[in-house]
Amino acid sequence: MKNSATIIPVSSPECQVISWKSHLKSAFSDSEQLLRYLDIEPTAHRPSNLVQPSFPVRVPIPFADKMEKGNINDPLLLQVLARDIENAHIEGYSHDPLEEQNNNTPGLLHKYAGRVLLILTGSCAINCRYCFRRHFPYHQQLASGENLQKNLETIQKDPSITEVILSGGDPLLLSDKQLFEIISQLEAIPHLRRLRIHSRLPVVIPQRLTLQLQKLLSKNRLQTSLVIHANHGNEMDAELGHGLAALTRSSVSVFNQSVLLKNINDDPQILAELSEKLFEYQIIPYYIHRLDPVAGAAHFDISKKRASKIIRQLGQILPGYLLPKLVVEEPDKACKTIVL
Ligand code: SF4
């Protein structure tokens, strides 16, 4: 298998591009650097707002390039800028909002019937400040090495499991070779029918959508889907859209899920524009999640009443097939709850 760093993305057929791995290496890890890159003077913005948090800053340049220069309230910037408000203790917001951390099968989460989730890496290409796993002890909960083999045996022994979800962290941070090995092992389990990959990486670094990855996802026995994560229409651009459309043409289903975030996308017009941009590239708007109540992210939350109102208004703008379902995940439930 070729080294993916040298492969030309689906989305840029003719030019020399910076590889996705190079973009990962050069990502911003400091809010001040990011602000200067955006022509925003960090001292003009209240300096106390720029903290070096326990959940580090991580923002690759292709994502920063989708932000508006000079705009401290840019909706993409607000998703990734670490602020001191994250350190406030707010009742009802915990380190483990979905009660995943006491899981006794490290690397394997079996919450819903017929589906299991494999946690393949603890890293992401970007650190979203609202992330529900921002305090997750990945070092104890990874499906790698021995754990991965044990988890594959568990799946093999349980014929009720028909779908495997690769998650993280971001599973597309694995090399194509690593993904190939895992997918091959999953393909060999006869009762598995579907493979789903949850990743924000294509949105953050569209160059990850290489031809090699396209082949990997489209040429395996399992019905394969990719669930991307975009919250705002500004995250979608032609390079990303064409890369994803190429995947759908090769029979990989592509869905999007978002998180409803205060001051970022809590507006029916903004969400309508996102759905329309997604559909331009044949991506189905699937879920919009209410924020999981994770410590450090309370400032992104909006009330259930307001969330329902936004979705009702969105339903008046969009055709039904472009309307994402508003859902909330609750630790003790056998499925996501649809918020009406
Ligand atoms: S990409 Fe997903 S898992 Fe990673 S930090 Fe963002 S929300 Fe969390």
Q: Residue 163 CB: number of other CB atoms within 10 A? A: 17
What is the residue whose two structure tokens read 């709850």? 337
Tell me whether residue 237 is in a domain: no
Residues 225 and 275 in one domain: no
Q: How far is the CA of 120 from the centre of ligand 1 (A)?
A: 13
Among 229, 263, 297, identify where a domain stops.
Answer: 229
Ligand 1 pocket residue status of 277, Cβ below 6 Å:
no
Residues 223 and 110 in one domain: yes
Which residues form the domain of 33? 18-87
| 223 pLDDT higher than 90 | yes
> Whose alpha carbon is nearest atom 6 of ligand 1?
128
Tell me whether residue 320 is in a domain: yes
Atom of ligand 1 nearest to the CA of 259: 7
Dihedral sign (CA 135, 140, 146, 150): negative
Number of domains in the chain: 3
Q: Residue 236 CB: number of other CB atoms within 10 A? A: 24
Cα 236 from Cα 240, distance rounded (Å): 6
Burial 261-273 (b: 16+ CB within 10 A, else e): bbebbbebebbbb
Ligand 1 probe mutation, 170, 232, 294, most atoms within 8 A of CB: 170
DSSP assignment of 8-28 equals: PBTT-SSS----HHHHHHT-B
Q: How far is the CA of 215 from the centre of ligand 1 (A)?
A: 25
- The predicted pLDDT at position 130 comes to 96
Among 87, 115, 148, identify where a domain stops.
Answer: 87
Ligand 1 probe mutation, 86, 128, 197, most atoms within 8 A of CB: 128
Q: How far is the CA of 168 from the centre of ligand 1 (A)?
A: 8
Cα 224 from Cα 289, distance rounded (Å): 22
Q: How far is the CA of 143 from the centre of ligand 1 (A)?
A: 17
Beta carbons of 132 and 95 less than 8 angstroms apart: no
Tell me whether residue 247 is in a domain: no
**More confident position, 329 or 117:** 117
Ligand 1 probe mutation, 58, 133, 260, 289, most atoms within 8 A of CB: 133
Residues 81 and 191 in one domain: no
Distances (CA, A) of 309 to 121, 229, 275: 36, 22, 17
Q: How far is the CA of 295 from the centre of ligand 1 (A)?
A: 15
What is the residue whose two structure tokens read 């009660």? 99
Q: Give the pLDDT band of residue 165 (cuts 50, 70, 90).
A: very high
Ligand 1 pocket residue status of 133, Cβ below 6 Å:
yes
Tell me whether residue 94 is in a domain: no
In the Cβ-directed half-sphere of 331, how many Cα atoms lie within 13 Å?
13
Among 60, 87, 114, identify where a domain stops.
Answer: 87
Ligand 1 pocket residue status of 170, Cβ below 6 Å:
yes
Cα 333 from Cα 111, distance rounded (Å): 8
Cα 272 from Cα 126, distance rounded (Å): 25
Residues 106 and 80 in one domain: no
Atom of ligand 1 nearest to the CA of 169: 3
Tell me whether residue 93 is in a domain: no
Residues 41 and 65 in one domain: yes
Characterise 201 by phi-psi region: left (phi > 0), alpha (psi -120 to 50), beta (else).
alpha
Distances (CA, A) of 64 to 30, 67, 147, 263: 13, 5, 36, 18
pLDDT in tens, 304-329: 999 999 999 999 999 999 999 999 98
Q: Give the pLDDT band of residue 49 (cuts 50, 70, 90).
A: low
Residues 267 and 314 in one domain: yes
> Whose alpha carbon is nearest atom 3 of ligand 1?
169
- The predicted pLDDT at position 3 comes to 39
Tell me whether residue 11 is in a domain: no
pLDDT in tens, 189-218: 999 999 999 999 999 999 999 999 999 999
pLDDT in tens, 274-307: 999 999 999 999 999 999 999 999 999 999 999 9
Residues 40 and 159 in one domain: no
Tell me whether residue 142 is in a domain: yes
Cα 243 from Cα 133, distance rounded (Å): 28
The rounded percent of the chain whose pLDDT value lies above 70 is 92
- Residue 329 CB partners (closer than 8 Å, separation 6+): 98, 289, 292, 336, 337
Residues 151 and 202 in one domain: yes
Atom of ligand 1 nearest to the CA of 168: 3
Ligand 1 probe mutation, 29, 120, 121, 124, most atoms within 8 A of CB: 124
Angle at 69 between CA 67 and CA 71, to 5 degrees: 85
Residues 224 and 141 in one domain: yes
Tell me whether residue 257 is in a domain: yes
Beta carbons of 212 and 239 less than 8 angstroms apart: no
- Residue 75 CB partners (closer than 8 Å, separation 6+): 231, 232, 234, 263, 264, 265, 270
What CATH number did the domain enclosing 184 receive? Answer: 3.20.20.70
The listed range with the strongest mean pLDDT (55-59, 84-88, 261-265, 292-296) is 261-265
Residues 132 and 64 in one domain: no
Residues 29 and 117 in one domain: no
Residues 83 and 112 in one domain: no
Atom of ligand 1 nearest to the CA of 198: 2
* pTM exceeds 0.85: yes
Burial tier of 159 (Cβ tally within 10 Å: 0-12, 13-18, 19+): exposed
